[in-house]
Amino acid sequence: MEQESQLTRLGLFDARVPRYTSYPTAPHFANDVGPSEFAQWIEAIPAGASISLYMHVPFCRRLCWFCACRTQGTQSDEPVRAYAETLLAELKMLKARLAPGVTLSRLHWGGGTPTLMPADMMRRVAGAVFEAVPMGPGAEFSVEIDPNEIDAARMDALAESGMNRASIGVQDFDPQIQEVIGRDQSYEVTRAAVDMIRERGVQSLNADILYGLPHQTPRKIAESVQKLLSLGPDRVALYGYAHVPWMARRQTLIPSDHLPTPQERLELFEVARKLFVADGYDEIGIDHFALPTDGLSIAQKNGLLRRNFQGYTDDLAAALVGMGASSISRFPQGYAQNAPATGAHTGAIRDGHFSTSRGHVFTAEDKMRARLIEALMCDFKVSAQELTRDYGADPVALAKMFSSCAEKFEDMVEITTEGLAIPEKGRPLTRMIARHFDAYDLSKAGHSSAI
């Protein structure tokens, strides 16, 4: 009760802050990064380097009301096939600009619903990816799978193309909650998809589950978590539902008067968190859980956990290249985002140039603050020596920043001999503490709840 009172006083239950999957965050991207910058950054990747590739498929058979992802509905395969042809052309353009010997460390197909692609098209796209950028040793190929949009032929195509990690969105198994968020995915359908994945020798399974949904109670989320645990995922993301109807208009269909309060959201998170920990999962950062044998757990133990647009990652590649409409790429030089509208993206590729429509060029200050925030989000601590040695931070200015943070957040942060740390009781405030080091104006960005 005393901790909740302190969290209230420090503003946790009122704040809206970024998730810090990037720094600066996407609302601060500008149109001074375009196709020529993207092409130059691709060409600057050294020969023999290892990169990550994200491929976005912005189509769903039906649109879930809770989702804020860039996607569109279609009942026909034709738009999906046409879009896949655009991806094939985009991959050829990528191949033409890459230096010799560049390989993949990570390949992720996301959406939308990548499994809307017919099996033959999946094979063609996977083949084009590997022709453009071969898989490197120990590379990971992950795909977001919709249990309602998968069959044996498509699962065979993915497994035979090299998929070795699958990701399934669960959100919640309760029928009442599914109805009010526009989702129809029973436990039985999900179980069948997981069985297909495991039968094909795919060793790693990710799952997403949400807290903060309408009508969600501690009992209901506990039941959903227990059902999820019975599926044996290797890695789980426990995301807070972000109710941002001003950004995702379909969320206006969700009755806001049935959403949990911020205090209730914290309770829901804690119920789920304790169940995962009791079942042997390691806590990863602020909202992920992984078995001790999973790559995330190993990376965390070795101080190599990182943050990217998919959340937490063990990928250390210097460049993440995004293919497809709305995809965001990260390079040592900055961020580049493709045109969000499918038509605009397709038109650009048809005209022979990338569709990059906005982005951000890093300053030295950006790189230092990005690492500071990433360290807090991943390790709950940051080394002043690392920031001064690797990023040229001014030790005096850094000490003042740490001091002002400690003054603001009381004993929820600690000044240490190494730098700054967030003790366990302060971890619900991690995103707010990270915001303290954000130099950009967040007042008009419309971010989600801090808890």
Q: Is 275 within 8 Å of 236 (Cβ atoms)?
A: no
Rounded to 5°, the CA angle 379-385-390 comes to 90
Q: Round to whole Å and give the CA distance between 408 and 424.
A: 17
Is residue 357 in some structural domain? Answer: yes
Does one domain contain both 236 and 254?
Answer: yes
Is residue 236 in some structural domain? Answer: yes
Cα 70 to its chain centre, rounded Å, is: 13
Q: Round to whole Å and give the CA distance between 184 and 174.
A: 10
- Report, as an integer, the average pLDDT of 339-362: 97
Is residue 59 in some structural domain? Answer: yes
Q: Is 317 within 8 Å of 323 (Cβ atoms)?
A: no
222 is in an annotated binding site: no
Is residue 448 in some structural domain? Answer: no
What phi and psi, each to the nearest 5 degrees, are found at residue 8? -65, -45
Task: Select from 361, 387, 404 the last residue of a domain.
Answer: 361
Does one domain contain both 182 and 168?
Answer: yes
Does one domain contain both 374 and 342?
Answer: no
Does one domain contain both 60 and 145?
Answer: yes
311 is in an annotated binding site: no
DSSP 66-89: T--SS-EE-SSSHHHHHHHHHHHH
Q: Round to whole Å and give the CA distance between 342 and 74.
A: 13
328 is in an annotated binding site: yes
For helices 152-160 and 187-199, the axis angle rounded to 10 degrees is 40
Count of the separate structural domains present in the chain: 2
One-letter amino acid identity for 306?
R
- Report, as an integer, the average pLDDT of 87-116: 97
Nearest by Cα to 284 from 310, 266, 262, 264 = 310
Q: How many CB atoms lie within 10 A of CB 357?
A: 21
| First-to-last C-alpha distance (Å) of the chain | 17
Q: Which two tokens stand for residue 264?
A: 């209730």
Task: Select from 361, 382, 415 the last residue of a domain.
Answer: 361
What is the pLDDT at residue 446?
Answer: 61
Residue 162 has pLDDT above 80, yes or no: yes
15 is in an annotated binding site: no
What is the pLDDT at residue 1?
Answer: 59
Residue 243 has pLDDT above 80, yes or no: no
286 is in an annotated binding site: no
SS3 string, 336-392, reads EEECCCHHHHHHHHHCCCCCEEEEEECCHHHHHHHHHHHHHHHHCEEEHHHHHHHHC
112 is in an annotated binding site: yes
Is residue 133 in some structural domain? Answer: yes
Q: How confident is the model at residue 297 (pLDDT cuts 50, 70, 90)?
A: very high
Residue 406 has pLDDT above 80, yes or no: yes
Does one domain contain both 245 and 131?
Answer: yes
Q: Round to whole Å and give the CA distance between 446 and 16.
A: 7
Q: Round to whole Å and give the CA distance between 218 and 273.
A: 12
Domain residues for 391? 1-26+363-441
Which CATH number characterizes residue 430's domain? 1.10.10.920
Does one domain contain both 241 and 354?
Answer: yes
Beta-strand relationship, 204-211 and 135-145: unpaired
- Percent with pLDDT over 90 in the chain: 83
Is residue 449 in some structural domain? Answer: no
Q: Is 7 within 8 Å of 437 (Cβ atoms)?
A: no
Q: Which two tokens stand for residue 166?
A: 């699958």
Nearest by Cα to 109 from 79, 134, 146, 67 = 146
What is the pLDDT at residue 6?
Answer: 86
Is residue 451 in some structural domain? Answer: no
Does one domain contain both 294 and 388?
Answer: no
309 is in an annotated binding site: no
Enumerate the β-bridge partners of residue 106.
52, 140
- Percent with pLDDT over 70 in the chain: 98
Residue 292 has pLDDT above 90, yes or no: yes
68 is in an annotated binding site: yes
Q: What would the pLDDT profile of 118-151 be if each residue is shown by its tens digit?
A: 999 999 999 999 999 999 999 999 999 999 999 9
Beta-strand relationship, 103-111 and 50-57: parallel
What is the pLDDT at residue 151?
Answer: 97
64 is in an annotated binding site: yes
One-letter amino acid identity for 411?
D
- Report, as an integer, the average pLDDT of 62-68: 72
79-83 long-range CB contacts below 8 Å, 24 or more apart?
Answer: 79/342, 80/116, 80/117, 80/118, 80/121, 81/117, 81/118, 81/121, 82/346, 83/57, 83/58, 83/59, 83/324, 83/325, 83/342, 83/346
Does one domain contain both 172 and 286?
Answer: yes
What is the pLDDT at residue 67?
Answer: 73
Q: What would the pLDDT profile of 197-232 be if each residue is shown by its tens digit?
A: 999 999 999 999 999 999 999 999 999 999 999 999
60 is in an annotated binding site: yes
Residue 165 has pLDDT above 70, yes or no: yes
- Report, as an integer, the average pLDDT of 4-13: 82
Is residue 5 in some structural domain? Answer: yes
Q: Is 421 within 8 Å of 405 (Cβ atoms)?
A: no
- Distance of CA 225 to CAs 58, 235, 448, Å? 28, 13, 23
One-letter amino acid identity for 131?
E
What is the pLDDT at residue 11?
Answer: 79
Residue 245 has pLDDT above 80, yes or no: no
Q: How confident is the model at residue 444 (pLDDT cuts 50, 70, 90)?
A: low
Which residue has better confidence, 449 or 371? 371
Does one domain contain both 329 and 373?
Answer: no
- Report, as an integer, the average pLDDT of 419-447: 89
Residue 252 has pLDDT above 80, yes or no: no
Q: Round to whole Å and give the CA distance between 37 and 356.
A: 9
Does one domain contain both 191 and 259?
Answer: yes
Q: How many CB atoms lie within 10 A of CB 15?
A: 17
364 is in an annotated binding site: no
- Report, as an integer, the average pLDDT of 30-38: 97
For residue 236, the SS3 value is: strand
Task: Select from 310, 330, 361 the last residue of a domain.
Answer: 361
Does one domain contain both 221 and 345?
Answer: yes
Which CATH number characterizes residue 215's domain? 3.80.30.20
Does one domain contain both 217 and 307?
Answer: yes
Mean per-residue pLDDT of the chain: 94
What is the pLDDT at residue 242?
Answer: 85
Q: How confident is the model at residue 445 (pLDDT cuts 50, 70, 90)?
A: low
